[in-house]
């Protein structure tokens, strides 16, 4: 089955609870309303709005929005809130300590969601997703993001230099 491409001018989004969306889709002059829609981002990860996939709560794909940056303001806010709920990824704003013990690296960091301490199993869990941008997965499966290594303070950059 071919993936259906959706256009922002035909899509209206409203945030429901628990990160789900109500999708109103204009089709052939009619408006179809789909409640409890899940949202997922596609690739590339460096541009999270390059393609956004919508699925029913049963997991059936509705379509892929390829121009999410053109959504009207209320729909764009609903999409942003749903993505923030679905992809809770604290942004690392500073690094206080990185220490290796028994093959595991413990990170003590400052994030946009407060201080965090987590452990990283291997360097394979630190993935570049754009120039200076990294996603880090801890041993519990939580993800953290460094938006721009160059924007970190010099002490933080020095601490992560050998890790990334």
- Is the model's pLDDT at 162 over the cut of 90? no
Query: Mapping DSSP to helix (H, G, I), strand (E, B) and coil, where does residue 77 land?
Result: helix
61: left (phi over 0), alpha (psi -120 to 50) or beta: beta
> What are the pLDDT digits (tens) for 6-43?
989 999 999 998 778 999 999 888 999 999 999 888 75
Residue 54 is predicted with a pLDDT of 92
Mean pLDDT of 52-59: 87
pTM of the model: 0.60
Give every CB contact of residue 35 below 8 A, 6+ residues apart in sequence. Answer: 16, 20, 22
- Is the model's pLDDT at 89 over the cut of 80? yes
Q: How confident is the model at residue 2 (pLDDT cuts 50, 70, 90)?
A: low
Q: Is the peptide bond before 65 cis (omega within 30 degrees of 0)?
A: no
């Amino acid at each position: 089955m071919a993936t259906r491409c959706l256009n922002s001018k035909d899509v209206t989004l409203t945030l429901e609870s628990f990160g789900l969306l109500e999708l109103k889709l204009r089709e052939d002059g009619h408006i179809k309303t789909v409640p409890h829609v899940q949202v997922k981002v596609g690739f590339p990860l460096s541009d999270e709005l390059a393609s956004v996939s919508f699925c029913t709560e049963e997991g059936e794909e509705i379509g892929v929005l390829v121009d999410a940056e053109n959504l009207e303001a209320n729909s764009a806010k609903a999409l942003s809130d749903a993505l923030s709920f679905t992809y809770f990824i604290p942004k690392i704003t500073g690094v206080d300590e990185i220490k290796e013990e028994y093959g595991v690296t413990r990170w003590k960091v400052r994030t946009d969601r407060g201080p965090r301490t987590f452990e990283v199993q291997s360097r394979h869990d630190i993935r570049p997703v754009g120039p200076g941008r990294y996603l880090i997965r801890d041993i519990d499966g939580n993800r953290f993001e460094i938006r721009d290594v160059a924007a970190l303070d010099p002490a933080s950059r020095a601490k992560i230099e050998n890790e990334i």
